[in-house]
């Protein structure tokens, strides 16, 4: 028998997959990101994901934390590899 946590983890997986699906769709057809509807859809799924994370946090299955230093490190890492891709001619 599944627990509430198990159920919420499945919801977390599903929401991540939905975001992945819409991001992949946007990558396949860059004109999609020009569509206000598609941008809203990606953000709706992001909000759905945040709601599930909050439910898991309320049940103490995930810690409540915002790590600005980790976010800065990730941003710096992404920017570093974007610069690298530009140098290699793989990014405009």
Q: How many domains does the chain have?
A: 2
Q: Considering only CA atoms, which of 72, 76, 55, 73 is closest in space to residue 64?
A: 55
What token pair was written down for 27? 């990558």
CB 87 within 8 A of CB 80: no
In this structure, the answer to whether residues 33 and 71 fall within a common structural domain is no
> What domain range includes position 41?
4-61
In this structure, the answer to whether residues 40 and 17 fall within a common structural domain is yes
Q: What CATH number did the domain enclosing 45 receive?
A: 1.10.287
Only one residue has tokens 């600005």, namely 68
Measured CA to CA, the distance from residue 61 to residue 8 in angstroms comes to: 10
Q: For 58-68, write each residue's pLDDT tens digit.
A: 999 999 999 99
In this structure, the answer to whether residues 53 and 74 fall within a common structural domain is no
- pTM of the shown model: 0.81
Q: Residue 38's pLDDT is what?
A: 74
Q: Residue 29's pLDDT is what?
A: 72
In this structure, the answer to whether residues 48 and 89 fall within a common structural domain is no
In this structure, the answer to whether residues 48 and 78 fall within a common structural domain is no
């Amino acid at each position: 028998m599944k627990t509430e946590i198990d159920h919420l983890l499945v919801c977390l997986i599903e929401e991540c997959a939905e975001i992945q699906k819409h991001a992949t769709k946007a990558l396949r057809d860059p004109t999609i990101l020009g569509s206000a509807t598609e941008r809203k859809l990606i953000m709706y799924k992001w909000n759905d994901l945040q709601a599930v994370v909050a439910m898991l946090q309320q049940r103490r299955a995930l810690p409540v934390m915002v790590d600005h230093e980790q976010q800065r490190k990730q941003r710096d890492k992404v920017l570093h590899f974007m610069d690298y891709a530009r140098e290699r001619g793989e990014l405009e």
